[in-house]
DNA sequence: TAGTATGTTGGCGC
DNA sequence: AGCGCCAACATACT
């Protein structure tokens, strides 16, 4: 379920589980997710090495290891990192796993198998094309109104589609975009270059405000024995089409923009 | 059965 | 070049 907030939570969890730990083994039951390096190469590069740090850039996770190797991972639609305590059994859809010296295992699960993980020399990470083309991270490097306006001015696309462009801002996905535009009271179909200064200011503030809220709301360790329950939808408007707007009570709309479900309040976010 | 799914890439056409 | 649109990727749920 990965957009920036979920990936940030995954990074914090991985940091807690992995940093300072020595990898006792690497196994890849499904090598399809290994986009760079074979299972044998992963094992050779990482076995016996300590994890030095975990970082996040947009929706990518980066794990640095002794010996000069980095694992870059993208969860795509259904990827997830999970910690399994020693002796506990594993869930389905495990694509690779790190074995730790105390018997705990860190799993990469991914039902739909869209997720990818690359083993790279740490020195080669900066040149990885997927990372090199990312815009500034929406949470770690928030754009101020001036820079945001300058970028928006260059695009006539719907502001919602523009916000999801990873080369403009890194990390915002389909849910984030709807929720942020609701906070900023901007209609998602508005061309990016049509926003007034005060709308840009609201947008610049809504991005970190929403991300702070979402990271907090989704924090919590993914540990296998905590059953995944179907929680109530935590979002203000995403997935709430037809329900009353939490701000004004009007019926929330669902429409498709650039092929993606988009939610908005036709009153609070009236196109002007 | 058809429609839907929090992401990304690549092809086609304008 | 930039953009919209669509299919593909693979699987599950309603």
Residue A111 has pLDDT above 80, yes or no: yes
Angle among Cα A34, A64, A56 to the nearest 5 degrees reads 80
Structure tokens that stand for A18 in this block: 């992995």
Is pLDDT of A55 > 60? Answer: yes
For the CA atoms of A193, A196, A197, A202, the dihedral, rounded to the nearest 10 degrees, stands at -100
The protein residues having a beta carbon less than 7 Å from any atom of strand C are A 32, 77, 111-114, 154-158, 161, 258-259
What is the C-alpha separation between A266 and A269, in angstroms, rounded?
5
Q: Which residues of A31-43 are buried (b: 16+ CB within 10 A; e: fewer)?
A: eebbbebebeebe
Q: Candidates 1.10.8.50, 3.40.50.150, 3.30.1360.120, 3.30.70.260; correct CATH number of A145-264? A: 1.10.8.50
Q: Which helix (H) or strand (E) holds A150?
A: helix A145-152
Q: What is the pLDDT of residues A164-178, one digit of tens each?
A: 999 999 999 999 999
Residue A193 phi/psi, 5-degree rounding, is -80, 5
Measured distance CA(A99)–CA(A109) in Å, rounded: 14
Of the candidates A105, A138, A267, the residue with the CA atom closest to the CA atom of residue A206: A138
The nucleotide lying nearest A5 (C-alpha to C1') is B6
User: pLDDT per residue over A32-44, tens digit each?
Assistant: 999 998 999 999 9
Q: What gap in Å lies between CA A190 and CA A226, rounded to an integer?
A: 42
Percent of chain A scored above 70 by pLDDT? 96
**Residue length, chain A?**
272
* Distance from chain centroid for Cα A95: 19
Question: Which positions in strand C are less than 7 Å from the protein's CB atoms?
Answer: 2-6, 9-12
Residue A15 has pLDDT above 50, yes or no: yes
Query: Mean pLDDT across chain A, nearest whole number?
Result: 93
A88 is catalytic: no
Nearest CA-CA partner of A98 in A19, A12, A201, A210: A19
Q: How is residue A228 written in tokens?
A: 């995944």
Which of A56, A59, A80, A190 is labelled catalytic?
Answer: A59
Domains A4-132 and A145-264 share a fold: no
Mean pLDDT of A52-58: 97
Note the pLDDT of residue A225: 55
Nucleotide C10 C1' to residue A75 CA (A) = 14
Window from A54-58, A76-80, A87-91, A227-231 with minimum mean pLDDT: A227-231
In whole angstroms, what is the distance from residue A1 CA to residue A236 CA?
Answer: 17
Domain map (residue ranges) of chain A: 4-132, 145-264
The string of pLDDT tens digits covering residues A136-169 is: 999 999 999 999 999 999 999 999 999 999 999 9
- Give the tens place of pLDDT for each residue, A179-213: 999 999 999 999 999 999 999 999 999 999 999 99
Residue A11 three-state SS: helix
Q: Which residues touch strand B (CB under 7 A)?
A: A 1-3, 6, 58-59, 74, 76-77, 112, 114, 130, 164, 166, 173-175, 260-261
pLDDT of residue A226: 45
Pairing verdict, β A60-65 and A51-57? antiparallel
C-alpha–C-alpha distance, residues A58 and A61, integer Å = 8
Can A57 be counted among the known catalytic residues?
no
Q: Which residues contact A39 (CB under 8 A, 6 or more apart)?
A: A26, A27, A28, A31, A96
Whether A2 is a known active-site residue: answer: yes
Q: Which CATH architecture has domain A4-132?
A: Alpha-Beta Barrel (3.20)
Confidence of residue A272 (pLDDT cuts 50, 70, 90): confident
d(CA A254, CA A257): 10
Please answer whether residues A19 and A81 qualify as being in contact, where contact means their C-beta atoms are separated by less than 8 angstroms: no
Q: How many CA atoms lie within 13 A of A8 on its CB side?
A: 20
Chain segment A216-270, per-residue pLDDT in tens: 988 876 765 544 455 678 899 999 999 999 999 999 999 999 999 999 999 999 8
Which residues have C-beta within 8 Å of that of residue A229, sequence separation ≥ 6?
A: none
Find, among A272, A268, A238, A236, the residue nearest to A255 by Cα: A238
Q: Is A136 a catalytic residue?
A: no
- The pLDDT value recorded for residue A161 is 95
In which band, very low, low, confident or very high, does the pLDDT at A1 lie, cut at 50, 70 and 90?
low
């Amino acid at each position: 379920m990965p957009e920036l907030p979920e990936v940030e939570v995954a990074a914090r969890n991985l940091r807690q589980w992995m940093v300072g730990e020595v990898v006792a083994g690497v196994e890849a039951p499904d090598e399809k997710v290994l986009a760079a390096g074979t299972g044998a190469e992963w094992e050779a590069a990482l076995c016996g090495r300590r994890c030095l740090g975990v970082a996040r850039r947009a929706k990518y996770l980066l794990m640095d290891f002794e010996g000069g190797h980095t694992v870059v991972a993208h969860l795509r639609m259904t990827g997830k990192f999970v910690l399994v305590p020693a002796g506990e059994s594993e869930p389905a859809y495990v694509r690779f796993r790190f074995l730790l010296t105390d018997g705990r295992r860190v799993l990469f699960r991914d039902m739909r198998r869209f997720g990818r993980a690359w083993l790279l020399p740490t020195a080669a990470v900066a040149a990885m094309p997927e990372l090199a083309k990312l815009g500034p991270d929406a949470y770690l490097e928030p754009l101020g109104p001036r820079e945001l306006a300058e970028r928006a001015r260059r695009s006539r696309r719907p502001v919602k589609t523009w916000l999801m462009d990873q080369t403009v801002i890194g990390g915002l996905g389909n849910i984030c975009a709807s929720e942020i535009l609701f906070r900023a009271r901007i209609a998602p179909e508005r061309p990016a270059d049509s926003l007034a200064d005060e709308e840009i200011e609201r947008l610049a503030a809504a991005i970190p405000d929403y991300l702070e809220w979402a990271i907090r709301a989704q924090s919590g360790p993914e540990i296998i024995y905590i059953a995944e329950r179907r929680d109530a939808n935590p979002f203000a408007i995403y997935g709430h089409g037809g329900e009353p707007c939490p701000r004004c009570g009007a019926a929330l709309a669902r429409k498709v923009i650039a092929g993606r479900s988009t939610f908005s309040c036709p009153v609070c976010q009236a196109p002007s």
